[in-house]
Amino acid sequence: MKKRWAKRHIAEAIFRLIAHVSFVLVAGSLAVILWTIISKGFPAINWTMLTQAPKGGYYLGKEGGILNAILGSLYMAAGGTLLAFIIGLPIALYLETYLRNSPWARYVRLTLDVLWGIPSIVYGAFGFIFMLAIGMRASLLGGIIALTLLELPILTRAMDEVIRMLPRDLEQAALALGSTRLEVALRVVTRQMLPGIVTAILLAFGRGIGDAASVLFTAGYTDRIPTSLFRPAASLPLAIYFQLSMPYPEVQQRAYAAALILTVIVLITSLGSRWISSRLSKNVIQ
Amino acid sequence: MIQSKSLSARESQSERLSLAVRLRSDKFARWVFIILSIIPVVLALLIFGMLVFKSLPIMKVNSIWQLLTGQVWKPEEGLFGFWPFITGTIWVTLTALLIAVPPSLLTAIYLSEYAGRSLRTGMKPLLDLLAAIPSVVYGVWGTLAIVPFIQNKLGPFVRQHLPNIPILNSDNPTGFGILAGAIVLAIMITPFIIAILFEIMNNLPKGLKDASLALGTTKLQTIRWVVFPQALPGIIAAIGLGASRALGETMAVLMVVGNVARVPHSLLDAAYPLPALIANNYGEMMSIPLYDAALMTAALILLVIILLFNVTSTMALQSVLGKKGA
């Protein structure tokens, strides 16, 4: 009896240790990755890097910085998020305040889940064929459209989940007072879900700005600072990808700097969404 | 004070709108909503339809079976065999899952069964952060850390001490290959899998677990005989979702996997997964006949495989998580 007791408690202790180690492993991998990016990227960052576009040939010039990619990425991710939000918010509101659990709502939700699962390279390829079909060239606008497609399901589903969590009482009270559904959607639901909206927007923005495969063919790449919607635009992920494999150390430095800047932007959006949503949620009735 | 003022201003504004206007705008909005909600459905059909339409030309020349099992990829000579790419995708994805699933499962169990409250609440932001890091950044890390490690340490070690293990036997002298791709992928999908597993474990009914513990079992016994069987469908669904993520990942894998169009036989061989094929060759596809159709076929194959994994796992997961409410 005693022996069996001892055995199972030893097994317990061993298992506990293994579980603990894998937790440390997972948490540690974040530290290792961040350390690699920071230790390589930090020395590469300076004023020139942040304020100038690359000089000389096709991203092979040794002078200059990555301002083209920083601006291009910000423009594309902001544009894509804005468009996806404009389309996505009404869909989310419609699904919840008008449709609830009707078959059509379930169908739309399933489609959004399917779209969410489509890899970004397929969005990129699709965007490219689509642009060919209507005679468009790789441009900032193309990148924005590709990111809109990529972010639309993320944004819509995230907002949809937020609305589902809201208490029904408020909506019903507003309806009972004689509001139309539209008024309920715009004045009650939207206000209550504000923290969730901000989180969803930042989540989608983070996904968009970090995605390389979807803008690879649709936005192209250029050393110039983007000035027009119809010209190709650089982006941080592609700046990293193209410049990392170059044999010149000066060019590689730009890749390291771009990786650090991209990571910082993404971490700020991820942490910022937490902070903002906790600040904003004080107006929400639980 | 200010708040009440703005409130009353808003009220008076809405009073000014007549009922007819309000009803009409409600009706109008409804139509706008309906039209917008058709967009995702149209988009999904359009993507699928366009890929099928664009890959038709090559299917007229070759049978689907020929394309799928063809070993040779020489677009200049009109040979489009996808087998190297399909096997490359499978090798990388399977290896990544083998690396990622055990620690994910253990971490999820640790978090839901052993860890204290503060650790549990602290883990969520950490997982979000890991999931938010762009794949290109993982690719950079793989190129700087994993590839040199395999090239300078693991590769020579294997050649010297373990030359007879077929799965490690390779003539690939670089560190770029399946193992590098799989390690990077594994680290990318780990937070994703943990987050799903953690949600599943937290959703299990507490009663059975408490009953088992009350009978004097250790936590491990409860986990083995109560938690695990109940969570199993959810665990499989989580692995399926992780697989669909891994299958479609492009950039991080592309950067470290070597990109050689040959059927791999060992973990240290280079491979060329489908997403990498599309990403690398899209620029030059216009110059060779049928090349664009071949790449669209690759995208279609990838999409179909991923959707199979994704849709079945999502549905399984919904039924697992939905059960609790019933």
Written in H, E and C, the secondary structure of B250-281 is: CHHHHHHCECCCCCCCCCCCCECCHHHHHHHH
Cα four-point dihedral sign A250, A252, A256, A258: positive
Pick the residue with more confidence: A86 or B157?
Answer: A86
Residue B41 pLDDT more than 60? yes
Q: Any idea which residue has 């038709």 for tokens?
A: B56
Q: Are residue B315 and residue B259 in the same domain, yes or no?
A: yes
Pick the residue with more confidence: A247 or B294?
Answer: B294
Nearest to B26 among A15, A182, A213 (CB): A182
Residue A254 pLDDT more than 60? yes
CA distance B294 to B213: 58
What residues are paired with B258 via a beta bridge? B271
If you average pLDDT over residues B83-96, what whole number do you get?
94
Nearest to A211 among B110, B134, B283 (CB): B134
CA distance B247 to B257: 13
If you average pLDDT over residues B92-117, what whole number do you get?
90
A24 reaches B (C-beta below 8 A): no
- The amino acid at residue B103 is P
Q: Are residue B101 and residue B187 in the same domain, yes or no?
A: yes
pLDDT of residue B113: 83
A102 reaches B (C-beta below 8 A): no
- Answer yes or no: are the C-beta atoms of A124 and A218 closer than 8 Å: yes
Taking only Cα atoms into account, the Rg of chain A, rounded to an integer number of angstroms, comes to 24
If you average pLDDT over residues B190-207, what whole number do you get?
88
If you average pLDDT over residues B108-120, what whole number do you get?
84
Q: Are residue B76 and residue B205 in the same domain, yes or no?
A: yes
* DSSP assigned state of B232: H
A43 reaches B (C-beta below 8 A): no
CA distance A222 to A139: 10
Q: Are residue B204 and residue B105 in the same domain, yes or no?
A: yes
Task: Verify whether the Cβ–Cβ distance A180 to B22 is below 8 Å.
Answer: yes
Q: Are residue B28 and residue B161 in the same domain, yes or no?
A: no
Q: Are residue B147 and residue B267 in the same domain, yes or no?
A: yes
- Answer yes or no: are the C-beta atoms of A175 and B14 closer than 8 Å: no
The C-alpha of A265 sits at a distance from chain B's nearest C-alpha, in angstroms, of: 10
Q: Where are the alpha helices (DSSP H) in chain A?
A: 2-41, 47-51, 67-93, 103-117, 120-133, 140-165, 168-176, 181-183, 190-192, 194-210, 236-244, 249-280
Reported as a pLDDT band with limits 50, 70 and 90, residue A59 is low
pLDDT of residue B4: 47
- The amino acid at residue B34 is I
> Which listed CATH number (1.10.3720.10, 1.10.132.20, 3.30.2310.20, 3.40.50.1370) goes with A48-283?
1.10.3720.10
Q: Are residue B132 and residue B14 in the same domain, yes or no?
A: no
Q: Any idea which residue has 């170059």 for tokens?
A: A246
- A76-85, B100-109, B227-236, B317-326: lowest mean pLDDT where? B317-326
- Answer yes or no: are the C-beta atoms of B144 and B204 closer than 8 Å: no
Read off the pLDDT of residues A78-99 as tens digits, 9 standing for 90 and up: 999 999 999 999 999 898 888 8
The DSSP element (H or E) to which A184 belongs, if any, is none
Closest CA to B189 of B150, B243, B256: B243
| Burial call A4-13: b when 16+ CB within 10 Å, e when fewer | eeeeeeeebe
If you average pLDDT over residues B184-197, what whole number do you get?
92
pLDDT of residue B1: 39
pLDDT of residue A57: 62
Q: Measured between alpha carbons, how far apart are the two ends of chain B, in Å?
A: 46
**Which of A87, A101, A114 is the best residue to mutate to test the B interface, defined by the most B CB atoms within 10 Å of its own CB?**
A114
Instruction: Enumerate the residues of chain A whose CB falls inside 8 A of the CB of residue B44.
Output: 111, 114-115
CA distance B42 to B195: 31
pLDDT of residue A1: 54
A112 reaches B (C-beta below 8 A): yes
Residue B324 pLDDT more than 50? no
Task: Verify whether the Cβ–Cβ distance A22 to B103 is below 8 Å.
Answer: yes
Is the whole model's pTM more than 0.95, yes or no?
no
- A18-22, A125-129, A148-152: lowest mean pLDDT where? A18-22
- Answer yes or no: are the C-beta atoms of A251 and A243 closer than 8 Å: yes
Nearest to A213 among B44, B251, B283 (CB): B251
Please name the residue of chain B whose CA is at the shortest distance from the CA of residue A132.
Answer: B286
* Cα angle: A259, vertex B181, A17; to 5 degrees: 95
What residues are paired with B271 via a beta bridge? B258
Angle between helix A140-165 and helix B19-61 axes, rounded to 10 deg: 120
Residue A55 pLDDT more than 50? yes
CA distance B180 to A263: 21
Chain A from 56 to 85: CB within 8 A of any B CB: none
Residue B62 pLDDT more than 60? yes
Read off the pLDDT of residues B219-267 as tens digits, 9 standing for 90 and up: 888 888 888 888 888 899 999 999 999 998 888 999 999 888 888 888 8
Residue A49 pLDDT more than 60? yes
Give me the percent of chain A exceeding a pLDDT of 70.
94
Instruction: Enumerate the residues of chain A whose CB falls inside 8 A of the CB of residue B220.
Output: 8, 11-12, 15-16
Instruction: Enumerate the residues of chain B whose CB falls inside 8 A of the CB of residue A232.
Output: none
Instruction: Enumerate the residues of chain A whose CB falls inside 8 A of the CB of residue B47.
Output: 118, 122-123, 126
How many domains is chain B built from? 2
pLDDT of residue B3: 46
CB atoms within 10 A of CB B2: 6
Chain A from 161 to 200: CB within 8 A of any B CB: 180-183, 185
Taking the domains of chain A in order of start, what are their residue ranges?
A: 2-44, 48-283
Q: Are residue B254 and residue B317 in the same domain, yes or no?
A: yes
- Answer yes or no: are the C-beta atoms of B227 and B128 closer than 8 Å: no
CA distance B206 to A227: 59
Reported as a pLDDT band with limits 50, 70 and 90, residue A60 is low
The C-alpha of A211 sits at a distance from chain B's nearest C-alpha, in angstroms, of: 7
Taking only Cα atoms into account, the Rg of chain B, rounded to an integer number of angstroms, comes to 26
Instruction: Enumerate the residues of chain A whose CB falls inside 8 A of the CB of residue B191.
Output: 26
If you average pLDDT over residues B162-172, what whole number do you get?
77
CA distance B106 to B122: 17
Final residue belonging to a domain, choices B14, B39, B58 = B58
Give me the percent of chain B exceeding a pLDDT of 90.
34
Task: Verify whether the Cβ–Cβ distance A212 to B134 is below 8 Å.
Answer: yes
The C-alpha of A164 sits at a distance from chain B's nearest C-alpha, in angstroms, of: 14
In the numeric block, which tokens belong to residue A16?
A: 């506990």
- Answer yes or no: are the C-beta atoms of B290 and B61 closer than 8 Å: yes
Would you give the distance in Å from CA B132 to the centre of its chain? 13
Q: Write down how long chain A is.
A: 286
Q: What is the CATH number of the domain that holds B280?
A: 1.10.3720.10
Task: Verify whether the Cβ–Cβ distance A30 to B126 is below 8 Å.
Answer: yes
Q: Write down how long chain B is.
A: 326
* DSSP assigned state of A56: S
Task: Verify whether the Cβ–Cβ distance A8 to B221 is below 8 Å.
Answer: yes
Instruction: Give B65-132 as a DSSP string.
Output: HHHHH---EEGGGTEE--HHHHHHHHHHHHHHHHHHHHHHHHHHHIIIIIS-HHHHHHHHHHHHHHHH
pLDDT of residue B68: 86
- Answer yes or no: are the C-beta atoms of B136 and A259 closer than 8 Å: yes
Residue A160 pLDDT more than 60? yes
Q: Are residue B6 and residue B140 in the same domain, yes or no?
A: no
If you average pLDDT over residues B108-126, what whole number do you get?
83
Q: A128: number of CA atoms within 13 Å, CB side?
A: 26
Report in angstroms the alpha-carbon separations of B57 from B78, B316, B322.
Answer: 13, 36, 44
Read off the pLDDT of residues B211-228 as tens digits, 9 standing for 90 and up: 888 888 888 888 888 888
Domain around B110: 65-322
Instruction: Enumerate the residues of chain B whose CB falls inside 8 A of the CB of residue A126.
Output: 46-47, 50-51, 299
Q: Is B304 helix (H, G, I), strand (E, B) or coil?
A: helix
* DSSP assigned state of A94: I
Task: Verify whether the Cβ–Cβ distance B299 to A8 is below 8 Å.
Answer: no
A1 reaches B (C-beta below 8 A): no
- B8-22, B210-224, B263-277: lowest mean pLDDT where? B8-22
How many pairs of residues across A and B have Cβ atoms under 8 Å apart?
Answer: 248
Task: Verify whether the Cβ–Cβ distance A121 to B295 is below 8 Å.
Answer: no
Q: Are residue B165 and residue B204 in the same domain, yes or no?
A: yes
Pick the residue with more confidence: B59 or B13?
Answer: B59
Q: Is A6 helix (H, G, I), strand (E, B) or coil?
A: helix
Please name the residue of chain B whose CA is at the shortest distance from the CA of residue A199.
Answer: B128
